[in-house]
Amino acid sequence: MVVMTRWLDPDEQRTWRAFLSASRGLMETLDRELQRDAGMPHAYYEILVRLSEAPDRRMRMSELATETASSRSRLSHAAARLEAAGWIRREECPTDRRGQLAVLTEQGFATLAAAAPGHVEGVRRHLFDALSPAQVDQLRRISEAVADQLNAS
Amino acid sequence: MVVMTRWLDPDEQRTWRAFLSASRGLMETLDRELQRDAGMPHAYYEILVRLSEAPDRRMRMSELATETASSRSRLSHAAARLEAAGWIRREECPTDRRGQLAVLTEQGFATLAAAAPGHVEGVRRHLFDALSPAQVDQLRRISEAVADQLNAS
DNA sequence: CCGGTGTAGTTGAGCGCTCAACTAAATCGC
DNA sequence: GCGATTTAGTTGAGCGCTCAACTACACCGG
């Protein structure tokens, strides 16, 4: 006999729909705010953040792809846009002739520095202000468990 | 004096990054699975689900937009694709000459019925299997709080 | 040192989305 | 009733993404 689908029970269904609406709503809101205030989508903001935290504000493309959890292709397209905006530039990698380094420009750093306070405020207003300290902790554990599950499979 | 930015403390930072990676990873995984197994993105799956639950499997475009939390524009583009795929059709609204009804076709219902078990299994594997019953409850409360916050602002 | 395999990164087509502009019909206020 | 406003839905441009195909280089085994 074929295995029957274990459908979601009403509690799970409610959780799933609430999660969908909250996580999508949150990301859409932050994306829109960042687009409006800094002229970039959230994904590009994150790339600039990672670069700003790297030694010499530069990083190999593949490392940057791993850290931002994006495909090489996605990062490559994004880098083209970021370079056209003047926020990063590319340099040859001295130790691997296949490699490229993404380097945050001064202008990119300045743009990031200008965008960061508003964005952090947004994350606070839309996420953390809605949660108790205990819930923040719960959300961290839940997120880490889900992320681990994804990496395991 | 200007108000200083309240930066995220290390706990909040960790929670935020874990949440980003989990929620994006989860949605990307489910999207890819649905694209592979049913030839549609998750957003379209949800539209078909909502239609399948509606009386006579039909719904006004704007109501459908509200229920799926999408803009009229998004739904309009999506409906065009879904209609081209033969999964929905449009009908004139009898009570409002501006209105359109989206109607789930037999073929659309069949496609949905074929896709649903695999998708539910995916939600289970990637999300609920990683969480304890208490965490499912926590996630629901957290998500509802965040969604409420978004609607309030 | 050389052929095969793996890795780094790019490219182009196609898709789903946003945003702004638009048409058309309903409804409100006097 | 009738002009002004609001609501329903569509459209097209532009953007960011995926997927698959591709180039170029590194590295491994004999």
* DSSP label of B55: G
Q: How far does the CA of A75 sit from the C1' of C13, in Å?
A: 18
Q: What structural domains and CATH numbers belong to chain A?
A: 29-118 (1.10.10.10)
Using left for φ > 0, alpha for ψ between -120 and 50, and beta otherwise, residue A69 falls in left
Distance B97 CA to D7 C1' (A): 12
Name the nt closest to B68 by C-alpha to C1': C17
Which residues are bridge partners to B103 per DSSP?
B58, B89
pLDDT single digits (tens) A61-108: 999 999 999 999 999 999 999 999 999 999 999 999 999 999 999 999
The verdict on a CB contact (< 8 Å) between A128 and B5 is no
Closest in A8, A142, A148 to B138, CB measured: A142
Q: CB-based contact (8 Å) between A122 and chain B?
A: no
How confident is the model over B8-21, as a mean pLDDT? 96
Give every CB contact of residue B145 below 8 A, 6+ residues apart in sequence: A130, A131, A135
- Candidates B5, B21, B142; nearest CB to A138: B142
pLDDT in tens, B80-137: 999 999 999 999 999 999 999 999 999 999 999 999 999 999 999 999 999 999 999 9
Q: What's phi and psi for B68, nearest 5 deg? A: -95, 5
Buried b (16+ CB within 10 A) or exposed e, B120-133: bebbbbbbbebbee
Q: Which helix (H) or strand (E) holds A104?
A: strand A100-104
Q: Is A9 on the interface with B (CB under 8 A)?
A: no
Calculate how close chain A gets to B28, using CA atoms only, in Å: 11
Among the partner-chain residues A8, A69, A149, the one whose CB lies closest to the CB of B120 is A8
Using a pLDDT cut of 90, give the percent of chain A over it: 94
CA-based angle B114:A146:B71, to the nearest 5? 60
pLDDT at B153 over 90: no
Mean pLDDT of the B125-150 span: 97
Q: Which residues of A touch B7 (CB under 8 A)?
A: 120
- For the cut 80, the answer to whether the pLDDT of residue A153 exceeds it is no
Cα dihedral: A102, A108, A114, A120 (round 10): -10
Distance, CA of B56 to C1' of D17, in Å: 35
- Considering only CA atoms, which residue is closest to the C1' of nucleotide D23? A98
Could you tell me the pTM of the whole model?
0.94
pLDDT in the model for residue A99: 96
